[in-house]
Amino acid sequence: MRVYCGIDVGASASKLVLLDAERRVVAQAVRRSGVDYAAAAHACVDQALGQAGIARSEIVRSIATGYGRDNVPFADGKMTEIACHGRGAFYHFPQRITVIDIGAQDSKVIHLDDQGRRIGFKMNRKCAAGTGAFLEEIAYRLDLPLSELNALAQRSTRSLTLSSFCTVFAATEILARIRAGDKVEDIVKGAFRSVIRRIEEMDPVDGTVVMTGGVVAYNPFLAVLAEEAFCRPVRVPPDPQFIGAFGAALFAMDSAPGQEHA
């Protein structure tokens, strides 16, 4: 079997996808990136190869993306996160789209035309608000596991607004909300809305909105709130956490020596 590898080494997690010649996913793996990105990359590829039951020699080409893309020893090339998330999202939704990727440490708004060409993008790297780190801080302040946030937000029946977008100030405001007797589920939903509002501030959206990344993978209620905020359809591709790695694998296939793909 000839396979093509895409690996997305993020600040929090590393994700890897193997595609066959028909662009079908044959294996995928995710590991915490930790402090050794190279080790995380090797662990991901070994796990995926084990799932597929194939040898590393059967990987035709590998492309790395993400925050730690320079730290993948076996990569044959690298691409930006913007390019890979756009490519992966457009594969599933081949139309004019705005891709919103909410990651652990940053968020991105990527505009693609109806041919999949990037026509603009914005990134938020200066503040944790609007990212997974913001929700981690909220969970910490509420003494909740991250895995419980989505279900809590869905149970909320009240629209509560957190006035502070800054993560530090929002944490202080949450303590005040608890003291005032506000329900935990309403506070969590307010935090989710705060994430969406920060995305709204970054850049206007066009066409169909596609949300990718680990944050929406584990908190799908964010897509519901985004539909309300943007007043337009919001789509989430299969395995949204792996879309960057999937896009990188598509680039690996396209750039493989002697290969031409439609």
pLDDT in tens, 214-245: 999 999 999 999 999 999 999 999 999 999 99
pLDDT in tens, 58-105: 999 999 999 999 999 999 999 999 999 999 999 999 999 999 999 888
Same domain, 117 and 224: yes
Q: What is the pLDDT of residue 258?
A: 65
Q: What is the pLDDT of residue 262?
A: 40
- Mean pLDDT estimate for the chain: 91
Same domain, 168 and 210: yes
In Å, how far are 43, 51, 109, 191 from 236, measured between CA atoms? 27, 25, 14, 20
Beta strand 208-212 pairing with 234-235: parallel
Q: Which long-range contacts (CB under 8 A, 24 or more apart) does 70-77 make?
A: 71/9, 71/37, 71/38, 71/41, 72/7, 72/9, 72/37, 72/38, 72/41, 73/38, 73/41, 73/42, 74/41, 74/42, 74/45, 75/7, 75/41, 76/252, 77/251, 77/252, 77/255
Same domain, 110 and 156: yes
Using 50, 70 and 90 to split pLDDT, how confident is the model at 138?
confident
Higher pLDDT, 29 or 125: 29
Same domain, 54 and 12: yes
Using 50, 70 and 90 to split pLDDT, how confident is the model at 261?
very low
Q: What is the mean pLDDT of residues 24-33?
A: 96
Same domain, 232 and 102: yes
What is the domain extent for residue 206? 95-236
Q: Are 108 and 85 in contact (CB under 8 A)?
A: yes
Using 50, 70 and 90 to split pLDDT, how confident is the model at 47?
very high
Using 50, 70 and 90 to split pLDDT, how confident is the model at 164?
low
Same domain, 74 and 28: yes
Look up the pTM and report it: 0.91
Same domain, 150 and 179: yes
Q: How buried is residue 231: exposed, middle or buried, by Cβ count under 10 Å (0-12/13-18/19+)?
A: exposed
Q: What is the pLDDT of residue 127?
A: 67
Same domain, 60 and 116: no
